[in-house]
Amino acid sequence: MKVTRGYNMQVLSLVIGIFSILVFVLATIPLLAWINWPNLPVAIAGIVLGVMGMLLHGSKKSGIIGIALCILAFILCNLRVKFGFDVMPLFLSNLLA
């Protein structure tokens, strides 16, 4: 079985998707929410690699799973960054009040 470049891209997208979800879970710890900012471009890179891998290779299983994980990580990190689901604003508002 010959491994092509497209298959490698799909597997890399899957690895990036798993990594992005794990980083998001780590970023739920208070004071580590800043990790979501660098995680956003990583998730986008995983989406791009997954789509390119699906276009270059016939099998699409790992590419679809990698894209789905990267999209999920991107949405969750984006919500966390946009709406600031963090403990620090609550802590500071109680401290200053």
| pLDDT one digit per residue (tens) for the chain, 97 residues | 556 777 888 999 999 999 999 999 998 887 788 888 899 999 999 999 999 988 887 778 888 999 999 999 999 998 888 877 655 555 556 666 5
Rounded Cα–Cα distance for residues 36 and 57 (Å): 31
Q: Assess contact for 20 and 39: CB atoms under 8 A.
A: yes
CA distances from 75 to 10, 30, 39 (A): 20, 19, 11
Q: Assess contact for 46 and 17: CB atoms under 8 A.
A: yes
Per DSSP, the three-state class of 85 is coil
